[in-house]
Amino acid sequence: MIQIIRGILIFSVVILFSCGTKRTPNSCIGVICTADFRMMTIHLIDSLGADFIPDKVETFSEDSVLIQSQTGPTIPGQNLYTIIDDSHMNTLGVNIENNVLFKVFRNGQIIKQQVYKVKADCCHIIPISKDSTLVVN
């Protein structure tokens, strides 16, 4: 009987402390995540609406640290490029809104750059910016 009461008490304390608090990385311990792998992608087009093929694209954190570099589309034949994905969650922090800078290169020059907003929970990235297409002139 005492073990049941102790179990209920511990459960109640956990529930009370988890209500209304912002998650921190330590609060992610024991969180069960789905097996999904989420990506924030962008379709690159030129000013006429045709697919734009860059030499490379790069994504940088707010403090100008390179997060990822890509020389081809994420899905061949679809001209989608990854801005950020679940493999870079540690760069974002938990439930913190981040600005990431996406740069498009051709012939060694930056020809377009765009800031996107994203955050992460304990399991996945969460795009805040909803743009799905970037026009590159």
pLDDT at 74: 94
- Mean of pLDDT values over 18-22: 39
pLDDT at 76: 85
Q: What fold does the segment set 34-135 form as a domain?
A: Immunoglobulin-like (2.60.40)
Give the helix/strand (H/E) hosting 92. Answer: helix 89-92
pLDDT at 93: 87
pLDDT in tens, 82-106: 999 999 988 888 999 999 999 999 9
User: Among residues 53, 62, 61, which one has the least CA distance to residue 81?
Assistant: 53
pTM score, two decimals? 0.77
Do residues 120 and 89 touch, judged by C-beta distance below 8 A? yes
pLDDT at 21: 38
pLDDT at 10: 55
